[in-house]
A and B are shown apart, each in its own frame.
Chain A
Amino acid sequence: MSVIEIRQVSRWYGDVVAVNDVTMTIGPGVTGLLGPNGAGKSTLLHLMAGFLQPSGGTATLDAKPIWKNQDVYHTIGLVPEKEGVYGFLTGWQFVQSAARLHGLGDDAANRAIAQVDMADAKDRRIETYSKGMRQRIKVAGALVQEPAVLLLDEPFNGMDPRQRLHLMDLVRDLGAAGKTIVFSSHILEEVERVAQQIEVMVAGRHAASGDFREIRRRMTDRPHLFRVRSSDDRRLAAALIGDTASGGVSLTPQGLEVRTVDFRRFTHQLPRLARDLGVRLWQVSPTDEDLESVFSYLSGRS
């Protein structure tokens, strides 16, 4: 059982602030670091992994500083996003070298390879691996010393769906076994499936924190903008403005633009109103559902 504590940590490169006054405590279980690209997720993970010095604040593992402390790697296994593997080694040689660097024998390497289900391909050179296989062999390399903490930077990127599910299961199992696991991702669904705890990063700041229900609720419970096209926009607009679900309706040549204040009520009411009026709906589409706008909404509120 290990705890990573990030206290008022900032990190800047010259004038650019990558991580801005972030405080979080990460304990056993799976924590997902969610945010759009460039939000500072990688920077935060590198701060936790001892590969970056905090410009301000402290990053500790079980109350010991992480920066310039090679002993943390008894406890921390790191799976970097960059390739980070020697392509000329076979999978076995790579994991075996990781074990030896920890002073461990071949047993540890075999166990780690079995854990990621790579025993069949272990004698091939890593450069012949698919992206998903590389990812798994890197995970094996990070698991040889059975670390209490596992840090993964965008681990599911570029994997095919089957490999992704397999790795997700592995991460979930490790979390259930009491390991402290942090992984970064820019995909909400990915984080939802694996993580019990979600930390949202936006523009270097810690924008939200909670379990996936909490985050999901905060993401849907916000004003939405919908574009609606129908057989009679004007009649539909009149009915919509009369309902408490909408905050504003405007008629445009492309159809109606409806700003909702109560998302659930709107999705419930719209088809009923249309049916009662005898208006046919051609198109209902959210215009601001992309993750960027969700994130910017969250960050605007915190």
Chain B
Amino acid sequence: MNTVVASITYRAMLGRKRVWLLALLPIALIAFALLFRFIGGGDESVAVELMKTFAIGTMLPLLGLIAGTGVIAPEIEDGTIIHLMSKPISRPVIAFTKYVVAASLMLGFSVIPTYVAAYILIGTESGIAAGFALGALFAGIAYAAVFFLLGVVSRHAVTIGVIYALVWEGLIGGYVPGARRFSIQQWAQSIADQVTTSAFLKSEVALSFAVPAMAIVVVGSVVWAGQRLRVLSLTGDE
């Protein structure tokens, strides 16, 4: 960890208008929860459905994309990262620090709002709030790692990320059971399922697969990104 790198990255992510990019979806989630609560639809199945489709299924991958790529890709694009890289600091440390910032943003902007939204709907009943918050925590860390790596290796990180989230997890994962094993969203549901006792959530991927898979994805992505940063080339305008 390098505190200077972290503070510059936080300022870039949270400064002025950019913070709204991160805040929009969590605000929408909590607004939905309030709405269902007051029109009286706040039963357990609604809570599980909102958590599954909106919190885990939509908000998490999109925020993972915004935070994961946002901490590094724009700086590589406009060359500001030279300020950090032309210093005697190990580049894997720069990468690790930026990843930690992304992961912490996931905690603040998706894990906590997930818990709050579920709590608004049904309190602590059946452990739904705690379960989904824990799932969101793991998934947030994993999404941030994957999209962070994408932001380092590709200039088209956002496009590729959206395609992964929509096509692979959303579409193919919906029809092809095998694809679900390789879906962060499904891993998150497995973890949520361990905590909650709700009958409305049935996970499809075994925890014994989901947890190691997540660990490998996170560690692999961050290490790989660090190595890529070591050999990052700047071509200039020529």
Interface bin, chain B: 20 to 34
Q: Is the CB of A83 within 8 A of B8?
A: no
Say whether B89 faces chain A, with CB atoms less than 8 Å apart.
Answer: yes
Contact partner of B237 (CB less than 8 A), chosen from A81, A98, A141, is A81
Q: Which of B74-82, B123-131, B170-178, B210-218 contacts A (4 or more CB under 8 A)?
A: B74-82
A84 to B87, CA, bound (A): 14
A210 to B237, CA, bound (A): 27
Instruction: Give B87's nearest chain A residue, CB to CB.
Output: A101
A102-B88 CB under 8 A given contacts A42-B237, A78-B82, A141-B83: yes
* Chain A residues within 8 Å of chain B by Cβ, number: 41
Q: Is the CB of A89 within 8 A of B11?
A: yes
Q: Is the CB of A97 within 8 A of B4?
A: yes
A84-B12 CB under 8 A given contacts A46-B234, A153-B236: no
A46-B84 CB under 8 A given contacts A70-B91, A88-B15: no
Q: Which of A36-69 contact B (CB under 8 A)?
A: 37-38, 40-43, 45-46, 49-53, 68
Say whether A71 faces chain B, with CB atoms less than 8 Å apart.
Answer: yes
A78 to B5, CA, bound (A): 18
Q: B63 to nearest A CB, angstroms?
A: 21
Q: Is the CB of A70 within 8 A of B235?
A: no
Q: Which of B187-238 contact A (CB under 8 A)?
A: 230-238
List 16 additional A-B contacts (Cβ < 8 Å) besides A97-B7, A141-B83.
Answer: A13-B235, A43-B236, A46-B233, A50-B86, A51-B234, A52-B235, A70-B87, A70-B88, A73-B88, A82-B82, A83-B79, A84-B83, A85-B83, A86-B8, A86-B83, A101-B87
**B→A interface (CB under 8 Å):** 2-5, 7-8, 11-12, 15-16, 78-80, 82-91, 230-238
**A→B interface (CB under 8 Å):** 13, 18, 37-38, 40-43, 45-46, 49-53, 68, 70-71, 73-74, 76-78, 80-86, 88-89, 94, 97-98, 100-102, 141-142, 153
